[in-house]
Structure 1
Amino acid sequence: MTYLKQIAAALALTGATLAAHAADISLSPAPIDLTDGVGLASRLITGNNSGNTFADQYTFSLSGVSNVLADVYSFSGNAKNGLDITGFSLFNAAGTLVSSGNQLSTGQTDQWVLDLGKLAADNYYLQVSGSALSKSAGSYTTNLSVSAVPEPATYGMLLGGLAVLGLATARRRKQQ
Structure 2
Amino acid sequence: MSTAFGGAMAENYTSPVIALVGDNAGSWTKGFETNHQVGDFTDSWTFSYSGVAADATGFVKNLQNSKSNIDFYSATLNGVALDISNIGKKSEIEFFDLPVNGTLNLVLTGKAFGTNASYAGTIDVTTAVPEPTTYGMLLGGLGVMGFLARRRKA
State the TM-score, normalized to the length of structure 1.
Answer: 0.61
How far residue 54 of structure 1 moved from its aligned partner, in angstroms, is 0.9
Provide the residue aligned with 2:13 in structure 1: 27
* More strand as a share of residues: 2
| Structure 2 CA distance for partners of 1:114 and 1:107, relative to 1, 3 Å | same
Within 2, Cα distance between the matches of 1:133 and 1:77? 11
Provide the residue aligned with 2:3 in structure 1: none
Within 1, Cα distance between the matches of 2:87 and 2:18? 25
Contact 1:84 1:132 (8 Å CA) reproduced = yes
Percentage of pairs with the same residue: 14
**Any gaps of 5 or more consecutive residues in structure 2?**
1-8, 23-27, 145-154
Aligned residue type for 2:52: G
Kindly report which structure 2 residues correspond to 1:10-159, keeping only aligned pairs within 5 A, or say none.
24-36=10-22, 37-45=28-36, 49-50=37-38, 52-62=39-49, 63-78=51-66, 81-91=68-78, 97=79, 99-119=80-100, 121-134=101-114, 136-150=115-129, 157-159=135-137
Larger radius of gyration: 1
| Structure 2 CA distance for partners of 1:133 and 1:31, relative to 1, 3 Å | same
Cα RMSD of the aligned pairs, angstroms, is 3.0
| Structure 2 CA distance for partners of 1:164 and 1:115, relative to 1, 3 Å | same
* More helix as a share of residues: 1
Contact 2:70 2:89 (8 Å CA) reproduced = no
Partner deviation per Cα, 1:127-162 (whole Å, 9 max, x = no partner): 12111123x2211002100112237xx997353146
The alignment of Structure 1 onto Structure 2 pairs a total of residues equal to 130
**Any gaps of 5 or more consecutive residues in structure 1?**
1-22, 92-96, 167-176
Contact 1:88 1:113 (8 Å CA) reproduced = no
Q: 2:138 is paired with a residue of what secondary structure?
A: helix
Partner deviation per Cα, 1:28-58 (whole Å, 9 max, x = no partner): 122222122111110022xxx32x1111111
